[in-house]
Every structure is written in structure tokens, then in C-alpha cells.
Amino acid sequence: MNRITQLFETRDANILSVYFTAGYPASDRTQAILEALQDQGIDMAEIGIPFSDPMADGPVIQQAATQALRNGMSLRLLFEQLKDVRRTIHIPLILMGYLNPVMQYGFEAFCRSCEAVGVDGMIIPDLPFADYMAEYKDTATRYGLKVIMLITPETSDERIRLIDEHTGGFIYMVSSAATTGAQQSFDDAKQAYFQRINAMNLKNPRLVGFGISNKATYDVAAGNASGVIIGSKFVQLLGETALPAEAVGKLLKALQQ
């Protein structure tokens, strides 16, 4: 069974997924970061594929992607690093990146490599839903991969229901239409958005991402979904600490304050 599916079948609340950019702060940290996340109880990891034009990302992740590319990180190198990852890492793994590097690699080749190293799914923010349905869904399904789609406060109910019907794993519920980055709280408009989606009774579980960095934002997000996704805060901490385990510890502490 796909590990993402298995996770949501055994847990329906307080799931914590953490994003980091492959190749940052150094090109050889992927395994160490994954081990630190797993060892401290993180439920799922999203590994970012660095790209030169990350349109949905805020300054923290943009800077990390730039540094990762300077460090020589590439999709081919990442798959090489993940070749033996399943010997020690058992939590679900998702690759998150933009369509351009995936298409340069070749979509079927990408899916084949994901299956070979034990990646469970992908998030491609700039993959249009119509293109996914017409050109990519069958290939991803053939390799046992979940394609996770994003929704925002601007996504129509009709589109949300289509995504819910034709994807699996979970729905990535973006907290706002802005780029990634830490926020101190969620305003009334965002909370109304959470309530609107709750009332739709979707079949797929949801994780809330973008802007979660402290207890206040974590509690609201986790209370309106199966869990949360944290990216910018953790990437920032990776750049400020000597060891990945220290960054994970500081992240968990921040979510309690």
C-alpha cells in the first residue's frame, strides 16, 4: 500500500508534514535531514526540487533553492541520494517541485525513478489540473504515485470537487493565495475559508500549508484539517543551525509557543 494512504488510514488528526529544499544548506544533507525528521516523530517529509523560478515560494525558500542550485543539486543527484533511503527511512516521502525540471527529466522517467527509490507522491504546483487529467494521471497511477493538488481560498467549489474526485493521498489546502512564508496568525477571512472547505465533506483528507510557524497558526490549521505542512520555518532553521536534528527540535519547540 502507498505509504501516504497508509498514514491517513491510521491517523486522522495532528499529522505533521515538513518540507525542506534538497541541496540546502549543503548538497549532501538529504539523508541526514530525513533521519532527523523521522527520529523526532515527523509523520511525512516533502523534499523540494530546487528551481530557478519558484513562483509560489517566498524569500526563504527562494534563497534556499538558489543556494541548492549553486551547491550542485539536481534531480538526477537527488534520485542518486535517495537510492538506498528506504533502508532506514519509513515515513512517506513526497517530491515537490515545478513542472520544468520534471519535464526536462521526462515525466515517465521521473515516475519510474520515484517508484525505484520509494517516493510515494509528488506535488507540482504549476501543473494545471486539466493537463494532469489528460496527460499525467494515468502514468502516475501506473507507478503507484499520488499526485497531490493544491487548493486556495480562490479555488471554486466545482474545481475542489473535481480535485477531490480524481486525486488521492490528500489535498494540499493552501492557507492563502500568497507565496509561502511564516505568519503569526490567521485572520477571519482565512478561518472562514477553512470552515467553507470543512462544510464540503470531501472524501480526501486535507493538510493545511503556507504560513504555519507557531502554536497559534498550528492550532487553527490542525483544528480544521487532518494536519499541517511546514516549510519556510524549517528551511530557515536549517540555515541557522549546525545539525538537522537541532533544526527539527527548534521547529517542534516553536509549535508549542
- The answer to whether residue 57 is catalytic is yes
Q: Rounded distance, CA 209 to CA 15, Å?
A: 12
Q: Rounded distance, CA 191 to CA 207, Å?
A: 14
Q: Rounded distance, CA 31 to CA 14, Å?
A: 25
- The answer to whether residue 43 is catalytic is no
Cell (9 digits) for 185: 496568525
Catalytic entry in 57, 108, 131, 187 = 57
Which CA distances in Å does 180 have to 15, 27, 32? 19, 23, 24
Catalytic entry in 9, 28, 46, 219 = 46
Query: What length does the chain have?
Result: 257
Closest C-alpha among 254, 212, 251 to residue 230: 212
Active site residues: 46, 57
